[in-house]
Amino acid sequence: MALLEVHQLSKSFNSTQAVKSISFSVDNGRCVTLLGPNGAGKTTTLRMLSGLLKPSQGSIHFTEMTKGEDLRRFIGYLPQYPMFYNWMSGQEYLVYVGQLALMHKRAANDRAIELLARVGLADAGRRRISGYSGGMRQRLGIAQAMMHNPKLVILDEPVSALDPIGRREVLDMMRDIKKETTILFSTHVLPDAEEISDDLLIMNEGQIVVAGSMKSVMDEYRQPIIRLRGETSLEVWQQSLSALEGIESVVCNGEYVELQVTDMTIGRSSLVKLLADQCIAIRKLEVAELSLEDIFMKAVNV
Ligand SMILES: Nc1ncnc2c1ncn2[C@@H]1O[C@H](COP(=O)(O)OP(=O)(O)OP(=O)(O)O)[C@@H](O)[C@H]1O
Ligand SMILES: [Mg+2]
């Protein structure tokens, strides 16, 4: 069931049309990734959804929201570049955020303790934020987005600035949050999106160019490929490779070759025959499928 429905949403900044009449929905209990190149309009979209930016046109509707209700009650938001009061402790900061969301101090205090434990900051909760690592700050940022028990948590690039350890910590946390809250997050780290999301939205130049469940998108774009690496450059063989039965197209880059295959059984055997007949020295031959990164590149026409 849809938790959130967005209809023909647009945003212009003077002459820049950052978001161009996008429509999509977010289903309850799903983890949705928003992808797109720099400047695609992701942050602008997420800021409109979180109530921080007024749309130029269009509507944002929570199915459980009654008319005139403030949508911020339904949403927790972690900005792309979160700012903290460094002189506060993690615990003080969460209580402060809770009180801004009109929680009573006592309830905010209890919730802060619960969330600090949940995001692995129980021991650091009384320390000043100025001493926190990047990963700890990001986890505190996610905790603050969860303070008022929102229906939807929006995270704008929660892992992009982190090292692999910090990234892993945040991903594990998101996996935990996902059990009870709907998540919409943007990222440039495609393997993370592939690992954690149920649904996918890809934006390009202010428009949504791909939308669907991760599985349906992967199925739609799924095309078998063969990757070859020669001992030396294979560019002289480009034409012969392109002419093989079962092969649709060939991209050759020095010793690296990628063949898009229409029929794997036929394509693979005609390729192996060519390699053997012409004594082409091969270092590696791999059968693969388009990754999310390949799909992303196709969707945004890179
Ligand atoms: N406050 C603003 N004033 C003017 N233009 C803006 C403003 N915010 C965003 N833009 C423009 O809107 C477009 C979309 O920007 P946005 O920040 O939404 O992209 P993004 O997909 O989040 O990019 P990134 O991956 O770099 O974070 C860009 O052309 C940007 O320059
Ligand atoms: Mg952004």
d(CA 213, CA 182): 14
How many C-alpha atoms does 32 have within 13 Å on its Cβ side? 27
User: Stretch 199-203: mean pLDDT, rounded?
Assistant: 96
Q: Which residues surround ligand 2, an ion (CB under 5 A)?
A: 42-43, 80
| Cβ neighbour number for residue 1 with a 10 Å cutoff | 7
Q: How far is the CA of 158 from the centre of ligand 2 (A)?
A: 11
Q: Per-residue pLDDT tens for 203-251?
A: 999 999 999 999 999 888 878 899 999 999 999 999 999 999 999 999 9
Tokens (6 digits) for 78: 């972690």
Among 182, 244, 145, 227, residue whose Cα is nearest residue 33: 182
Tokens (6 digits) for 233: 């450059």
3-state secondary structure the chain: CEEEEEEEEEEEECCEEEEEEEEEEEECCCEEEEECCCCCCHHHHHHHHCCCCCCCEEEEEECCCCCCCCHHHHEEEECCCCCCCCCCEHHHHHHHHHHHCCCCHHHHHHHHHHHHHHCCCCCCCCCEHHHCCHHHHHHHHHHHHHCCCCCEEEEECCCCCCCHHHHHHHHHHHHHHCCCCEEEEECCCHHHHHHHCCEEEEEECCEEEEEEEHHHHHHHHCCEEEEEEECCCCHHHHHHHHCCCCEEEEEEECCEEEEEECCHHHHHHHHHHHHHHCCCCEEEEEEEECCHHHHHHHHCCC
At residue 35, the pLDDT reads 96
Could you tell me the pTM of the whole model? 0.85
* Amino acid identity, position 241: L
At residue 4, the pLDDT reads 92
Is residue 302 predicted with pLDDT exceeding 70? no
> Of residues 277 and 289, which shows the higher confidence score?
277
Is residue 36 predicted with pLDDT exceeding 80? yes
At residue 261, the pLDDT reads 93
Least confident of 28-32, 183-187, 266-270, 298-302: 298-302
Among 160, 156, 158, 154, residue whose Cα is nearest residue 183: 154
**In the chain, what is the straight-line distance between the N-terminal and C-terminal CA atoms, in Å?**
34
Q: In the chain, pLDDT over 70 holds for what percent of residues?
A: 100
Q: Per-residue pLDDT tens for 99-115?
A: 988 889 999 999 999 99
Q: Do domains 2-219 and 222-299 have the same CATH topology?
A: no
User: Stretch 240-265: mean pLDDT, rounded?
Assistant: 93
At residue 270, the pLDDT reads 95
Q: Per-residue pLDDT tens for 66-84?
A: 777 777 778 999 998 888 9
Which residue's C-alpha comes closest to atom 6 of ligand 1? 13
Ordered by start, the domain boundaries in the chain are 2-219, 222-299
Q: How far is the CA of 185 from the centre of ligand 1 (A)?
A: 16
User: Stretch 52-56: mean pLDDT, rounded?
Assistant: 94
Is residue 47 predicted with pLDDT exceeding 90? yes
What is the CATH code for 222-299?
A: 3.30.70.1340
Q: How far is the CA of 246 from the centre of ligand 1 (A)?
A: 43
Pocket of ligand 1 contains residue 10 by CB under 6 Å = no
At residue 161, the pLDDT reads 79
Pocket of ligand 1 contains residue 230 by CB under 6 Å = no
Is residue 186 predicted with pLDDT exceeding 70? yes
Pocket of ligand 1 contains residue 42 by CB under 6 Å = yes
Which residue's C-alpha comes closest to atom 1 of ligand 1? 13
What is the CATH code for 2-219?
A: 3.40.50.300
